[in-house]
A and B are shown apart, each in its own frame.
Chain A
Amino acid sequence: MKWRDAASMAATSIRRRFGRSVLTVAAVALAATLLTALVTIAGTARTKVLSELSKGGPLSGITVAAAEADPSQVDTDDPKPGPPKDLDESIRTRITGLPSVKTVLPIVASVVNVIVPEPPADAEVLSRLPPFPTTVAPTTSAPPFSTVPRATVPGLKNPDPFPETIVGIELERASLMPITILTGRLPVPHSLTEVAVTQGYLTRMGLTKKQAAAVVGTEVQFGAPRVFTDSGQPRRFRSRWTRATIVGVVAQETAPGQFVVSLEQSRAARAWTASGSEVEGRLQIPTSDYSGLFVIAEDLEKVNEVRRDITELGYSTSAPENLVASVQRYLRVVEIVLGAIGAIALVIASLGIANALLAAVRERRREIGVLKAIGARDRDVQRVFLFEAGVLGMVGGVVGTAGGFATALGVSGVVNRYLTAQGLAGVRLGLPLGVLLGAVVGSTLLALVAGAMPARRAARMPAREAMEAA
């Protein structure tokens, strides 16, 4: 008997015993649902937790400071940096060439004066967002924010110009850096007119994280300071002012600073400041090309090796490697436990398949005997029953996997609503193809294993059964 014919016979048998087949498939499907949902949720939770630990960047990220290293602290996640030490292009090139280094991303921070224009937040957006912690939010019936005297919106601050650091990064590779978008987006690469702000800016405005959306679309002005010291004249300060639109609110760990801008914008500010009068009139600006580097090792296991190499070059590094490794271990335990619960359910369902098939073998003794009497070999009979088991397992696996993923989607929706309400970034449930495929293949294989014994029993049934039953 050909495989195709065996499959056809198995399919016919399943159809004719529809009720029992449905119940058997349902048992497998429920188990596969449980397994898929648990593993998917555990995997997503793992990603979220690790993402929080790495602040949205890669787990194998290392922050290199423009400071001297303390070799004794190389195994510490967040060591205290030593005295400033210039990080120039040649060092960047050397770090890029180190073994196990995947990518090196530059960070250029500059100190600027910041002016927050009126209004400091979008009134209409604010009216739709949660109220201020200490007072009542403006209502939609209120006049436009720009016409409302500041005093009528208690709690909302419009601070005086203040000095703050802008952090310049390669925005086209921002996804590789420890930056999490809370609302809005990052500035477009190379932009000189867009900026993302951090929660520190919100705090300065008197806003909470939940109200972050209210600052998106508003503008700020950055003034890069410069000192002029004409002979015989008192020292004068002038700033190079640029206006930028806030396009998003982020949490970032690349460098201290409340504004994330393009590398070009930060460099321009720094260049303006650095081109001021020399010696006594010059502002205290770093002489380092980069205020830091963000180095990505090939994987988490290589982080310590790369940190040691960079330390040997004389630079201080920090990376949450120990914390991440520790958390990963705990998460792995959780995953194993949840996966085991699902797997146990699947094994129980497989026993259901075995039971159903054993019953089928008992019921179909005459049928098996007849098949043999008209020429079926033992393996032909075995094939039919194995197909039946495999089909039940696979259909159950497919249905259950789809159900499990749908369940995980539902759970992530609930979790996202909670996280959003808390002003936190939500979780993104990816399509865990490995898990889905594994659940289907696993269900099918388990069903085949469960069906092996009944199939063998059927195959060994003597052909004489055809006569005895007759």
Chain B
Amino acid sequence: MGVAISLRGLSHTYRTAEGPLTVLGGLDLDLADGGYAAITGPSGAGKTTLLSLLGGLEAPQQGKVEVGGQDLTGLSGDDLAAYRRATVGFVFQHFGLLETLTALQNVELAGTLAGSSPADRRRRALELLDAVGLAERAGHRPSRLSGGERQRVAIARALVNQPKLLLADEPTGNLDDDAAAMIIGLLEQVRRDHACTLVMVTHNRLLAQRADQQIPLDRGHIQPAPHEARLR
């Protein structure tokens, strides 16, 4: 099962040398349980910040973020870490694989942090690598994998703890067209197979159109129609 997401009056401001910079200004948003949303918008629109807040990478400053009924507002650092372990799977544009570890070890890492036994996490990691078609490359380090393969390893790692919410930040940003198509197909299949909610940041309009719901952001606000979010 996935999770429903509810944002109410979500604002976020960063302190910069030039003064406070508001990146999200009073966002209200609802995402359906098991839904597929694409966040789009130009650079500086607040896409990554929104993804960070949904993923519990930082605590909301103002407003309310509710994921699967859990209010993330006011959670401590450890609570947010527990939330990330139990609920969220991340896929990054630059894959986020640890270069010092093999593909298998990278996938196992999420299980390690969740406290799984070595045998369990090894078995789970091998299953997932097999599922993304990389069982043969389990012992290879990221530097010996192609971009598409790295992203498949990253997706396998994101799935280790059976997340209810899969967050992808420009997952095809560093891939060629074929690899990008394969990764998008894989993410959509994962969403269907695991029935999780998928939120993806992308600059690619075509990709965004494949989502159930588009969230066009600009300067911290959701843009009105015709770019308004719609359910497919």
Name the CB-closest residue of B to A17: B100
With A375-B161, A468-B48: A370-B96 Cβ-Cβ less than 8 Å = yes
Complex interface: chain B residues within 8 A of A70 (CB): none
With both chains docked as a complex, state the minimum distance between the C-beta of B217 and any C-beta of chain A, in angstroms. 15
In Å, the complex CA distance between A128 and B110 comes to 76
Name the CB-closest residue of B to A376: B113
Complex interface: chain A residues within 8 A of B84 (CB): 372-375, 463
Contact B115 A2 (CB under 8 A): yes
With both chains docked as a complex, state the minimum distance between the C-beta of B99 and any C-beta of chain A, in angstroms. 7
Complex interface: chain B residues within 8 A of A2 (CB): 112, 115
Partner of A470, one of B93, B98, B100, B114: B93
Complex interface: chain B residues within 8 A of A1 (CB): 112-113, 115
Contact A375 B169 (CB under 8 A): no
Name the CB-closest residue of B to A1: B113
In Å, the complex CA distance between A467 and B99 comes to 17
With A462-B57, A464-B57, A466-B96: A374-B48 Cβ-Cβ less than 8 Å = no
In Å, the complex CA distance between A5 and B110 comes to 12
Q: Is the interface of A mostly helix, strand, loop or mixed?
A: helix
With A2-B115, A370-B92: A12-B100 Cβ-Cβ less than 8 Å = yes
With both chains docked as a complex, state the minimum distance between the C-beta of B41 and any C-beta of chain A, in angstroms. 15
Complex interface: chain B residues within 8 A of A464 (CB): 52, 57-58
Contact B77 A377 (CB under 8 A): yes
A279 at the interface (CB under 8 A from B): no
Contact A470 B96 (CB under 8 A): yes
Contact B52 A470 (CB under 8 A): no
Complex interface: chain B residues within 8 A of A12 (CB): 100-101, 105
Complex interface: chain A residues within 8 A of B161 (CB): 375
In Å, the complex CA distance between A367 and B97 comes to 8
In Å, the complex CA distance between A193 and B121 comes to 78
Name the CB-closest residue of B to A8: B112
Contact B90 A372 (CB under 8 A): no
Complex interface: chain B residues within 8 A of A164 (CB): none
Complex interface: chain A residues within 8 A of B99 (CB): 16, 367
Complex interface: chain B residues within 8 A of A468 (CB): 48
Complex interface: chain B residues within 8 A of A264 (CB): none
A1-19, CB under 8 A of B: which get 1 and which 0?
1100100000011011000
In Å, the complex CA distance between A468 and B94 comes to 10
Among A5, A16, A373, residue most surrounded by chain B Cβ atoms (within 10 Å): A373
With both chains docked as a complex, state the minimum distance between the C-beta of B97 and any C-beta of chain A, in angstroms. 8
Contact B94 A380 (CB under 8 A): no
Which chain A residues numbered 1 to 47 have a C-beta less than 8 Å away from chain B?
Answer: 1-2, 5, 12-13, 15-16
Complex interface: chain B residues within 8 A of A13 (CB): 100
B51 at the interface (CB under 8 A from A): yes
Name the CB-closest residue of B to A370: B96
With both chains docked as a complex, state the minimum distance between the C-beta of B202 and any C-beta of chain A, in angstroms. 13
With both chains docked as a complex, state the minimum distance between the C-beta of B4 and any C-beta of chain A, in angstroms. 22
Partner of A370, one of B52, B77, B98: B98
In Å, the complex CA distance between A463 and B101 comes to 20
Name the CB-closest residue of B to A14: B100
In Å, the complex CA distance between A5 and B113 comes to 9
Using CB atoms and an 8 Å cutoff, list the residues of chain A in contact with chain B.
1-2, 5, 12-13, 15-16, 366-367, 369-378, 380, 462-464, 466-470
Sample 30 A-B pairs with CB under 8 A, ordered by A number.
A2-B112, A13-B100, A15-B100, A16-B99, A367-B99, A370-B90, A371-B109, A372-B84, A373-B96, A374-B90, A374-B109, A374-B157, A374-B158, A375-B82, A375-B113, A375-B114, A376-B81, A376-B113, A378-B77, A378-B78, A378-B81, A380-B113, A463-B52, A463-B57, A464-B52, A464-B57, A466-B92, A467-B92, A470-B92, A470-B93
Known: A468-B48, A469-B94. 11 other contacts (CB 8 A): A2-B115, A12-B101, A367-B98, A369-B96, A371-B109, A372-B84, A373-B55, A375-B84, A377-B81, A463-B80, A470-B93
The 4 closest A-B pairs by CB, nearest first: A375-B85, A470-B92, A370-B96, A16-B100
